[in-house]
Amino acid sequence: MERKILSIAFIFGIVMMCSPAFAAKGTALITATQTGSNVNGEAKFNETPAGLDIEVKVANVAPGKHGFHIHEKGDCSDEGKAAGGHYNPDNVTHGFLPHDGFEHAHAGDFGNIEVGQDGTGILKVVIPGLTLTGGKYSVEGKSVILHEKEDDFGQPTGNAGGRIGCGVITIQEETDSRVENMQDNKITDEDIDDITKADQTDDMDTNQTGK
Ligand SMILES: [Cu+2]
């Protein structure tokens, strides 16, 4: 029994050592900015050791490329115009962040989402240096904007036209990832109770055999 308990403690120990103590997750629910439009989607933000992992899914969008950026204000009213300009903490020129970096692109210059004939599109990108909370390039409370047209990376904002989808970036959870990992490994207090009970039964059997 002690050995089993010890090995569970050991697994927990390894899991704890291997993961950063805290990891924030965020989301932006994308909704249509214009009445009569069914544009919708979600942007998920996940802080990882490699950077901010961003996964965007959109639906009911016209096929083709559509500019997708983080804009500076967390307000989607007035057909998305209330979101203000591009999130640009360094006051630099417009570009493609994954390629040009923070010196030559705005902190939310994610380029384009390519939408297929079925009206859906996915964008996946990991940006080192970008965070959900804390630091110089935090995106919490900003908004994501899906544009009517393609971002051609021209100045000052890529000529992407109107704003067809918008969502405010909010923190979904900020949990201790060690707890999360324990849950992922499906070792619960109940499991430990079960193991303990099973061991007690084993011990009783042994005792009986001993008699
Ligand atoms: Cu934009």
Report which of residues 12 and 132 the model is more confident about: 132
Q: ω before 63 within 30° of 0 (cis)?
A: no
Instruction: Report the distance separating Cα 6 and Cα 16, nearest Å.
Output: 15
pTM higher than 0.75 = no
Closest CA to 39 of 160, 154, 144: 144
Residues 21-34: what's their mean pLDDT? 87
The class (CATH top level) of 18-177 is mainly beta
184 Cα: distance to centroid of ligand 1 (angstroms)? 37
For the stretch 97-148, pLDDT in tens is: 999 999 999 999 999 999 999 999 999 999 999 999 988 999 999 999 999 9
pLDDT reported for residue 186:
53
Q: What percent of the chain is modeled with pLDDT above 90?
A: 69
53 Cα: distance to centroid of ligand 1 (angstroms)? 19
146 Cα: distance to centroid of ligand 1 (angstroms)? 7
For the stretch 36-76, pLDDT in tens is: 999 999 999 999 999 999 999 999 999 999 999 999 999 99
163 Cα: distance to centroid of ligand 1 (angstroms)? 7
Q: What ranges do the domains of the chain cover?
A: 18-177
Beta bridge partners of 112: 67
For the stretch 146-177, pLDDT in tens is: 999 999 999 999 999 999 999 999 998 765 55
Give buried/exposed letters for 135-157 (b at 16+ CB in 10 A, else e): eebbbbbbbbbbbbbbbebeeeb
95 Cα: distance to centroid of ligand 1 (angstroms)? 11
